[in-house]
Chain A
Amino acid sequence: MRALGIFLFALAAGCAGVKETPPAVKSPAEPLVVVPPPAAVAQPPAAPLQPASKDEAVKTEPVVSAAPPESKSQSVKPAPPPVKAPAKAPVPAVATEPPRKSESPPAVAKAQEPPLDVATLTARLRDTKAIGTFTKLALKNQVDDLLKQFRAHYASGRKASIDSLRQPYNMLILKVLSLLQDSDPALARTISASREAIWSILADPEKFNSLT
């Protein structure tokens, strides 16, 4: 009976230990504070995307040519801020720490992957295992709804109010990021970095029409 008791106790202790592992898994998601950088990096992705969309058949060339400028421009841009930021404003100790964390991961991630276009984004979302079937379908519905809004906007001939679609676009991107940041942080980072590039496609009637 003692042996049985000890055995069951050991089993229970083992089971109790398993539950503590998931919280440790959550910690890697924290680096996704990367969300803010896209705003700062907003300008770089927009420029390189134009050559990519022009020659879709020759994707490899633009990608190769587009990637280096990004990595250069990004590596050049992020470098000064960290040096300047601590020097100019050493007061917020908390503010100085996040930039350091967000600098290295994005630099690596962006150097690896060029900004996504809508088709690539769709494919990556379809392939990821981070979100379930229902969620993917719901997400697809919402993407389609947004594309319909753009289509309706361009069909109506209004050019001034394209910015009115910026908010729903941002909301959708945030939803996607919130879904991916825990389970597929790499894709979340890529999408976050491609936010402006995708918007530049959607906001340009010609690119949008060629897309659809």
Chain B
Amino acid sequence: MIARIRVYALIIPLATLFAGPAPAAEDVTLLKDLTSVILLLGLPCGQVVRAKRQADNDHVATCKSGHRYRVFVNAEGRVVAQKQ
């Protein structure tokens, strides 16, 4: 019983440690991209801290300042950031 507890005590923290970073690394690129787009469009944001994918080339970005934008590519091929 004690051995099992020890094993779980080892596995759970390790799983927590190594499960997180992989998706986070991909996110960083997207968050940086969305931050750049929003700033390029002249909208207040600061830094995008969270992004939720809605479809291809369509994300809802949450800024550090609290602003939320839907960033997507419209039918004309333009990148648009809609405040939400």
Instruction: Spell out A's residues near B (CB within 8 Å).
Output: 1, 4, 8, 11, 15, 131-135, 137-139, 141-142, 175, 179
Contacts and interface: CB of A to CB of B under 8 A. Distances in A.
Contact of A134 (B6, B17, B71, B77): B71
B33 A131 contact: yes
Contacts of B71: 134
A121 B77 CA distance: 21
Interface of B is mostly: helix
A179 B40 contact: yes
Contact of A4 (B9, B33, B36, B77): B9
A141 B79 CA distance: 8
A4 B73 contact: no
30 contacts: A1-B6, A4-B9, A4-B10, A8-B13, A11-B13, A11-B14, A11-B17, A15-B17, A131-B33, A131-B36, A132-B29, A132-B32, A132-B33, A132-B34, A132-B37, A134-B36, A134-B57, A134-B73, A134-B79, A135-B36, A135-B40, A137-B77, A137-B78, A137-B79, A138-B36, A138-B79, A139-B40, A141-B77, A175-B40, A179-B40
